[in-house]
Structure 1
Amino acid sequence: MVKTANDTRQRLVAATADMIRRRGLNATSVRELAKFANTPLGSTYHYFPGGKTQMVQEAIEWTQQSISGFLQKVFAEDPVQGLDDFLARWRVRLLQDEFNAGCPLLAVVMEEPANDDAKAGIQAASEAFRHWQATLAAMLMRHGLVEQEARSLAILSISALEGSIILCRAEKSLAPLDTVALELRALFIQKFPKP
């Protein structure tokens, strides 16, 4: 199978997101990204003339699009099942990574904005978080919640999930995620009772 230029570029974007979620933004360098993605260093500058700043922004955008698409898919039919599926995805991810990686958006916003890479990354992450909230709220409105209630539940859900990921990584345990899942599921069952 012949690899295309688009494959290399996409591999670099995915590797950027993965490295950020593992090491954080400041510990992610273009040179290390090229090694991590198993691509020549020159490829990074060819596909990303804006350097690390461009790579970070595109990695955040890629993550945002991936999660937004997943939210639309799993919440389309049943919000309680959608919540279960979304939390299960994170459960698998945490176990696969042995609690050594979290969310790239969170990794970006948690670091001090020491340079333009960090500032651009924080802006991109902020927009991505807003997009996730809007996507989830729209899906919850499709299932009958009014706009303000849907927005509040979306913010609560995403905030609780992101917080539980931090605790899971710190404790090397799924217990925080399981607790959040239990509480959010009870709330979703209350908001979306079966007919």
Structure 2
Amino acid sequence: MTSETRAKMVAGAADLMSRRGVNATSVREVVRHTGTPRGSISHHFPGGKRQLIEDAIVFAGAQVSGPLRHLTSERGAMAGLRAFITLWKRTLEQTNYQAGCPILAVAVEEYVSDPSDQETAGAQAIQHHLLDLAQGIFADWQQILSNALKQEGLTAARARRLATLIVASVEGTVAMCRAARSAQPLEEVSHELELLLKSAIDKP
């Protein structure tokens, strides 16, 4: 069982989480969704579903933070904003509005222990750990955007507040798009966020 199999299962778990949430993403469903052997779970994830979900959170976060960090460093804050929004719009449209943000799914669900979990502290301890991971991902996205805004001349405090607004606005709007089965809410929020950033950046 190769590392390729492990990577496939992590990506598959992140995809299922974005569509169904955390608790509906069972070990069995991940195996079925990815076409991997059942024994892959115990081999690659000795901690069970808990470990698989943790790795999927980290994977999903990096799928956003990597391109976002690159674009903001190369082309500035506005390009980063557009890339952040385009990524979620593409995800929504390519999945027929079935997939949202797996990090948001972690943040809003209460984790239910799985029989495969190798965790003595129980579901509450796992829940707190998953929330910490989700918060770390959100904070990473905010920091990337905040750094880009500071490079545009904004104060650290204003850059931080605007970065928080961007992440919160887009994450919430992705949920609205799924409900509406339309990208229109995201397009409207994108327009207003661009106006806000342009005003903040251009302000003498």
TM over 0.5: yes
> Are 2:22 and 2:111, in contact at CA under 8 Å, matched by a contact in 1?
no
| 8 A Cα contact 2:76 2:148, kept in partner | no
- 1:154 alignment counterpart: 163
Do residues 48 (structure 1) and 45 (structure 2) align?
yes
Question: How far does the alpha carbon of each residue in 1:5-41 deviate from its partner, in whole angstroms, 9 at most, with x for none?
Answer: 1211111111111010111011011111111111001
1-side partners of 2:106 and 2:40: how far apart? 24
- Correspondences of 1:51-90 after superposition (within 5 Å): 51-76=48-73, 77-90=75-88
Aligned counterpart for 2:99 among listed residues 96, 101, 122: 101
Q: Deviations over 1:130-189 (max 9, x none)?
A: 121122212222222211111101100000000100000001111110111011010111
Q: Tell me which moved more, 182-191 or 127-136.
A: 127-136
Instruction: Write the distance in 2 (CA, Å) between the matches of 1:163 and 1:52.
Output: 27
Q: Kindly report the root-mean-square deviation, in angstroms, between the aligned alpha carbons of the 2 structures.
A: 1.8
More displaced stretch, 66-75 vs 22-31:
66-75
Partner of 2:15: 18
Q: Distance in 2 between matches of 1:145 and 1:173?
A: 34
**What is residue 194 of structure 2 aligned with on the other side?**
185
- Change in CA separation of 1:71 and 1:91 when aligned onto 2, cut-off 3 Å: same
Distance 1:181 1:30 in 2: 36
1:97-135 deviation per Cα after TM superposition (whole angstroms, max 9, x unaligned):
110010001011111244425443222112211121122
Distance 1:107 1:133 in 2: 18
Question: Which residue pairs with 2:3 in the alignment?
Answer: 6
Unaligned runs of 5+ in 1: none
Gaps (5+ residues) in structure 2?
A: 114-122
Partner secondary structure for residue 157 of structure 1: helix
1:142 aligns with 2:151: yes
**Is the 8 Å Cα contact of residues 64 and 128 (structure 1) preserved in structure 2?**
yes
User: Which shifted more, 173-182 or 140-149?
Assistant: 140-149
Give the TM-score, by structure 2 length.
Answer: 0.88
